[in-house]
Amino acid sequence: MLSRNEILQTIEMIDQQHLDIRTVTMGISLLDCAHPDAKESCRRIYDKITRLAEKLVATGEDIEREFGIPIVNKRISVTPISLVAGSSDAESYVCFAETLDAAAKTCGVNFIGGFSALVQKGFTVGDRRLIASIPEALAATELVCASVNVGSTRAGIDMDAVRLMGETIKKTAALTADRHGFGCAKLVVFANAVEDNPFMAGAFHGVGEPECVINVGVSGPGVVSHALQKCKGEPFDVVAETVKRTAFRITRMGQLVAREASQRLGVPFGIVDLSLAPTPAVGDSVADILEEIGLARVGTHGTTAALALLNDAVKKGGVMASSHVGGLSGAFIPVSEDAGMIRAAAGGTLTLDKLEAMTCVCSVGLDMIAVPGTTSAETVAAIIADEAAIGVVNNKTTAVRIIPVPGMDVGDTVDFGGLLGSAPVMPVHEESSAGFVARGGRIPAPLHSLRN
Amino acid sequence: MKAIVTVIGKDQVGIIARVCQLLAGCGVNILDISQTVMQEYFTMIMLVDTEGCSEPFAELAQRLREEGERGGLDIRMQREDIFNAMHRI
């Protein structure tokens, strides 16, 4: 029998603490849409996506109404397009991006991820064309998200790809200069990218996945924050336990919605991603949790340790709550999408160097970071290299989503609007990394990748 | 299928009567009720069975919400699963 308290607690979590399902993402394989004629391939892609995802948004809305839990986003992820378009005669893959954009609009989802390439060990012809198309594709479309994987623990880091991505990010910013380099907010560079991430902009439907799958991401930083307010002064054991139990409840929401969506759509359930994902809304912040743990401002000494505890406790609680946990599953620290992070970055307490340290212990990486428009492609590449090294050596996913904002400098704030929030432009080191980036080649895989 | 109806708001005459009438009118059976009034705040939680409901779930939930808005109350109907999922192993 449910108790009154339990029922009221659930309602309070939803109403006041921003508990919601952040995304229901349908992953769709487009491998069977490859065709030597690019137009035919695009036609197959459009047809398949609109057929399979036809009822995705409506089902999400039905579940929302019946369970009383907000499902904020419905999204689609597809096979990395370089693998699909690579069979075709097209030299530019912008038409594929436009097809994805059109299909996403027809289905009513708010993002479609998978304009991607996996180049951790080198490029295929398709990979090169995809990457070359990214700046124009992201400028020409609204809903398409792109990602490129440049390193893995097994393969090491492809530094040619890293250098190329530094240039690609700069080009993407230039082509969307009228929108503050917004294209870069839809582009992620990964190391150890995962195949079943439901969150944008890095979502793609990996090649090991089935035809079609439902993945869910939950969100409850506000709930965790609230729970910790009752632990003032308590030792870390209590803090960890509290986060764990709260993460269990939050993830259970995701599991329920995932199973329900899977059943109603007739599509297999993939995973629940138990990441703690903030929004710019007040009370929905991961930074607030870290400050609640006892830091006057996120970014000060102790932040890395606090985040390590948080990230680990979220995983431990969430794993029990779901039959299949996957995706990124950790704490998100996107600078523009978290009111507390924005505050700390604007005030100078939270620096790029500290964020890099934090990425060692949580899941996402350097996310939604605005840097001066004058930042060179080599510096961007070197930032990517650092993040890739952290991911590759520690056998975890890391990523960089960085926006060199044309025409802006430290002291300015760029506003992307909506869930993407606003970000203070953060300083980068002036000293050049050009010689380092120019070398190219591959940084070999670390020794501990040999696990057999 | 079982659902939880919650009514939260400032206490007023006739809340229970109005909500029960709405539910009965749609063929929804009330299985359990608990209510408290604490310093003018009224909280009622009902376990109901929507098996015989003459309307689609979402429509009834919407009607209840609108009834609540008319009286300055927060009335919601949610499938029971959400609470079981969160609070039971």
| Predicted TM-score of the model (pTM) | 0.93
CB contact under 8 A, B82 and A253: yes
Closest CA to A386 of A402, A368, A403: A402
For tokens 């948080």, what's the residue? Answer: A310
pLDDT in tens, chain A (452 residues): 788 888 988 999 998 888 999 999 999 999 999 999 999 999 999 999 999 999 999 999 999 999 999 999 999 999 999 999 999 999 999 999 999 999 999 999 999 999 999 999 999 999 999 999 999 999 999 999 999 999 999 999 999 999 999 999 999 999 999 999 999 999 999 999 999 999 999 999 999 999 999 999 998 999 999 999 999 999 999 999 999 999 999 999 999 999 999 999 999 999 999 998 998 888 899 999 999 999 999 999 999 999 999 999 999 999 999 999 999 998 889 999 999 999 999 999 999 999 999 999 987 899 999 999 999 999 999 999 999 999 999 999 999 999 999 999 999 999 988 778 899 999 999 999 999 999 999 999 999 999 88
Its ipTM equals: 0.87
A8 touches chain B (CB under 8 A): yes
Q: Which helix (H) or strand (E) holds A296?
A: none
CB contact under 8 A, A249 and B76: no
CB–CB contacts below 8 A, A to B = 61
Domains defined along chain B, listed by start: 2-87 (3.30.70.260)
Which residue among B36, B45, B79 places its CB closest to the CB of A66? B79
Helical H segments across A54-193, by residue range: 56-67, 81-85, 94-107, 125-140, 159-175
B29 touches chain A (CB under 8 A): no
CB contact under 8 A, B45 and A66: no
Residues of chain B found within 8 Å of residue A7, distances taken between Cβ atoms = 4, 6, 45, 83
Q: Give A286's contacts (C-beta < 8 A, 6+ positions apart).
A: A221, A276, A278, A310, A331, A332, A333, A338, A340, A341
- What gap in Å lies between CA A427 and CA A378, rounded to an integer? 15
Backbone angles phi and psi of B20, in degrees to 5: -65, -35
Residues of chain A found within 8 Å of residue B86, distances taken between Cβ atoms = 6, 10, 249, 252-253
Percentages (nearest 5) of helix, strand, coil residues in chain B: 35, 40, 25
- What gap in Å lies between CA A16 and CA A80, rounded to an integer? 38
A264 touches chain B (CB under 8 A): no
